[in-house]
């Protein structure tokens, strides 16, 4: 089984041989053991390393938020079919009536100013993002209701990462993706 793991700007092609408990990365084979502890927690052993893995959130944009030995990670995992579709240019975009607020640059989320289910109007502040030692107030690019919040206070985000999804109940099917300004 092949998986593509994207962490920040780095892509890794990892092939898992599930029956043999071997992962191939960069031409090298790594034996591993994986124990499901339940509740989204796992114990992984590779070589002499022991790791406690806790899945925190599977995000709608295909990313996975998890901790390894207490350190927070956000990564995207694609199986062979998702990877092939992406290479062919069939990336999933907003659903009809959806507006996505994306990060204009890499940074750290200082504050999320809205809650899921809340109504917002164009120009309402949604997220405070720290980038290049400046605080940037990211505002709603359109009217609607907060459908999903894809970031958390204190986490790092990448450029173009979806931060907030807004749905317009009065939508006529138009979609768009906006970068916060």
Q: Name which residue leads in pLDDT, 79 or 46.
A: 46
Domain count, the chain: 2
Please tell me the distance from the alpha carbon of residue 138 to that of residue 125, in angstroms, as a whole number.
Answer: 6
Residue 65's pLDDT is 75
In terms of DSSP bridges, do strands 119-120 and 125-131 run parallel, antiparallel, or are they unpaired? unpaired
pLDDT for position 7: 45
In this prediction, residues 15-28 reach a mean pLDDT of 74
pLDDT beyond 80 at 100: yes
Q: Does 45 reside within a domain?
A: yes
- 55 is in which domain, residue-wise? 2-87
| Confidence band for 117, pLDDT divided at 50, 70 and 90 | very high
97 touches 173 (CB < 8 A): yes
What are the tens digits of pLDDT across the range 156-173?
Answer: 998 888 899 998 755 433
3-state DSSP helix/strand/coil percent for the chain, to nearest 5? 5, 55, 40
Q: Give CA torsion, residues 83, 86, 88, 89, to 10 deg.
A: 180
In a domain, 25, yes or no: yes
At residue 178, does pLDDT exceed 60? no
Do 47 and 73 lie in one domain? The reply is yes
108, 175: one domain: yes
Distance CA 26, CA 7 (A): 15
The single-letter DSSP state of residue 146 is E
What pTM value is reported for the model? 0.45
> Can you tell me the mean pLDDT for 130-149?
88
Mean pLDDT of all residues in 25-44: 83
Could you tell me if residue 93 is inside a domain?
no
Is pLDDT above 70 for 79? no
């Amino acid at each position: 089984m092949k998986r593509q793991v994207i962490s920040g700007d780095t892509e890794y092609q990892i092939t898992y041989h599930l029956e043999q408990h071997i992962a191939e990365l960069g031409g090298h084979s790594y034996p591993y053991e994986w124990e499901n502890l339940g509740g989204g927690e796992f114990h992984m052993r590779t070589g002499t390393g022991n790791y406690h893995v806790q899945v925190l959130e599977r995000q709608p944009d295909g990313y996975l938020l998890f901790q390894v030995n207490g350190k927070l990670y956000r990564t995207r995992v694609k199986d062979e079919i998702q990877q092939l579709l992406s290479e062919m240019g069939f990336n999933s975009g907003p659903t009809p009536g959806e507006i996505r607020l994306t990060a204009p640059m890499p940074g750290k989320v200082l504050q999320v100013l809205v809650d899921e289910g809340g109504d917002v109007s164009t120009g309402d502040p949604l997220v405070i993002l720290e980038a290049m030692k400046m605080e940037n107030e990211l505002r709603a690019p359109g009217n609607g209701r907060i459908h999903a919040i894809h970031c958390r206070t204190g986490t790092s985000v990448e450029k173009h990462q979806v931060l907030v999804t807004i749905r317009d109940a009065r939508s006529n099917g138009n979609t768009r993706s906006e970068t916060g300004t």
